[in-house]
Chain A
Amino acid sequence: MTADVQTLASESGCHLFSGCGFPSPGLNVFEFKPIFSIGAFDFTKPMLLALISMLLVIGFFWSAFAKPKMVPRGAQNVGELGYLFVRDNISRETMGKKGDPYVPFLFSIFFFVWVMNVMAIIPFAQFPATSRIAFPASIVGVVYVTYLVLGIKNQGFVGYFKNMMFPPGLPKAIYFLLAPIELLQGLITRPFTMAVRLFANMFAGHMLIVTFSVGAWYLLGFHIGALFSATSFLVVVILTAFELMIQALQAYIITLLAASYISSSLEAEH
């Protein structure tokens, strides 16, 4: 199972008109040979990228916030912008001021996810760890536990599930039909869609970029193929720009959803 785009294309070593078919990338671009193994445990590239992302996030905000100045400069300026974005546009927008204790949590989600996403277009990394379902799932798992615990703590066990299953303002008969959907939504589909949305976006984005990159390599030649190759390469550039946007957007959405779920745990909706 090969991993890198370059190795995938170059190992196959085939181009248009050279007698071999297009080496279409599949799920195999998401599987990696272990970098090293300890017993049954394989350390793979996505894990490495996740750890690097962790170090990057901590490192950057360390340099930005460790010795804060009243008049910000450099990294602190950028960091403050990020902090204010999460606090004002995500936390306070969703929960108001009572969400302020959860800003560090949301902040961590946003920047950790974002950096992992951005790894998709960093040279040599070129792989978003979040396109492996495990990484979104682990973060969503933490969010899931957080909002369940918060909900039960704030509204009581019965109260929390009552508020979840019986939104006010409906005729009694219809609760019979809607309550199962609410329960399913609150306990299963909510975390599931949350993780899958991030995963699927990054998965699809990476797949697209790999396909067109491989295509550009495959089409490269001295014939008319050079034109196709250039076109394919242009698509890669455009897709990369597009992905840059998607990466930030998905990080924003998963943070927003976390904020929204925490908010619904703090108090019954409406």
Chain B
Amino acid sequence: MIFLANSEEKMNPLLPPLDEIIIGGVAFLIVFGFLWKMLLPKIAKTLADRTDAIEGGLKRAEEAQAEAQAELERYRDQLTEARREAGRLTEDAREQGAVAIAEMRAEGQRIKDEIVTAGHTQIEADRNQAQNALRQDVGRLAVDLASRIVGESLEDEARQRRVVDRFLEELEAKASATATSEKVR
């Protein structure tokens, strides 16, 4: 471009004077600078925000709903889990209770058995004692009876004793023979 300063004689409208070019260019760059750096970013952001507010509002609502749904799902899961846990605990308690009952039952049985055994032993001891006493009594009684019947005093102590013992041995032998024969049979 040619600098053609104020040449009023040669007015060529296609030849730009340099001072006007500079002023025009600087003015344009100032306009551009203000709009580019300060003003248009703001409005672009506002427009984007507005679009976001309209479109994003729907999206956000959807997201919130999905989130609520997920939350509900999670609570439901937790509830199910808790129920299962409770069921399991109940079951455990029941099992433990059953075990306890069984243990107590066994303990009772054992005590009962002990008592019964002790009773048996006592009874056996009593019976033996009674048997011994009985045997002496029966011997004396039989001797007395025999004396009376025979009319003769069997005073000789030794003799008496031999007779009674023989008698009792016979009795026992008879009894044991009977018992053996019963056992065999």
**Contact partner of A27 among B13, B22, B27, B43, CB < 8 A?**
B13
Query: Known contacts A27-B13, A133-B15: does B46 contact A68 (CB below 8 Å)?
Result: yes
Contact string against B for A residues 52-66, beta-carbon threshold 8 Å, 1 for contact and 0 otherwise: 011001100110111
How many chain B residues sit at the interface, stated as a range, is 35 or more
Taking CB atoms, residues of chain B closer than 8 Å to A72 are 46
Q: Are B39 and A61 in contact (CB under 8 A)?
A: yes
Chain B contacts with A in 105-163, Cβ cutoff 8 A: none
**Complex CA distance for A84 and B45, rounded to whole angstroms:** 13
The reply on A137 being an interface residue by CB < 8 A is yes
Q: Are B25 and A138 in contact (CB under 8 A)?
A: yes
**Complex CA distance for A44 and B21, rounded to whole angstroms:** 13
Q: Which of these binds chain B: A10-18, A99-107, A233-241?
A: A99-107
**Contact partner of B31 among A108, A137, A141, CB < 8 A?**
A108
What's the minimum C-beta distance from B170 to chain A, rounded to whole angstroms? 132
What's the minimum C-beta distance from B94 to chain A, rounded to whole angstroms? 65
**DSSP class of B's interface residues: helix, strand, loop or mixed?**
helix
**Complex CA distance for A27 and B15, rounded to whole angstroms:** 13
Q: Are B40 and A103 in contact (CB under 8 A)?
A: yes
What's the minimum C-beta distance from A175 to chain B, rounded to whole angstroms? 31
The reply on B53 being an interface residue by CB < 8 A is yes
**Contact partner of A50 among B5, B23, B35, CB < 8 A?**
B23
Contact string against A for B residues 5-39, beta-carbon threshold 8 Å, 1 for contact and 0 otherwise: 11010010111110111111101111110111011
Which A-chain residue is minimally distant from B27 (CB atoms)?
A54
Q: Are B42 and A68 in contact (CB under 8 A)?
A: yes
**Complex CA distance for A76 and B28, rounded to whole angstroms:** 22
Q: Are A196 and B11 in contact (CB under 8 A)?
A: no
Q: Are B42 and A65 in contact (CB under 8 A)?
A: yes
**Complex CA distance for A112 and B34, rounded to whole angstroms:** 12
What's the minimum C-beta distance from A56 to chain B, rounded to whole angstroms? 10
Q: Are B14 and A107 in contact (CB under 8 A)?
A: no
Q: Are A134 and B13 in contact (CB under 8 A)?
A: no
Q: Are A1 and B8 in contact (CB under 8 A)?
A: yes
Which A-chain residue is minimally distant from B41 (CB atoms)?
A104
**Complex CA distance for A68 and B161, rounded to whole angstroms:** 142
What's the minimum C-beta distance from A136 to chain B, rounded to whole angstroms? 8
**Complex CA distance for A70 and B22, rounded to whole angstroms:** 39
Q: Are B35 and A108 in contact (CB under 8 A)?
A: yes
The reply on B47 being an interface residue by CB < 8 A is yes
Taking CB atoms, residues of chain A closer than 8 Å to B6 are 42
Q: Are B13 and A30 in contact (CB under 8 A)?
A: yes
Q: Are B28 and A112 in contact (CB under 8 A)?
A: yes
Taking CB atoms, residues of chain B closer than 8 Å to A79 are 43
**Complex CA distance for A108 and B28, rounded to whole angstroms:** 7
**Complex CA distance for A50 and B24, rounded to whole angstroms:** 7
**Complex CA distance for A42 and B20, rounded to whole angstroms:** 10
Q: Are A134 and B35 in contact (CB under 8 A)?
A: no
What's the minimum C-beta distance from B148 to chain A, rounded to whole angstroms? 141
**Complex CA distance for A112 and B29, rounded to whole angstroms:** 10
Q: Are B53 and A70 in contact (CB under 8 A)?
A: yes
Q: Could you write out 27 A-B pairs with CB less than 8 Å apart?
A: A30-B11, A42-B6, A50-B24, A58-B34, A61-B35, A65-B43, A66-B38, A66-B42, A70-B49, A70-B53, A79-B43, A80-B43, A83-B43, A83-B47, A105-B36, A108-B31, A108-B36, A111-B31, A132-B13, A134-B16, A134-B21, A137-B21, A138-B16, A141-B21, A142-B29, A199-B13, A199-B14
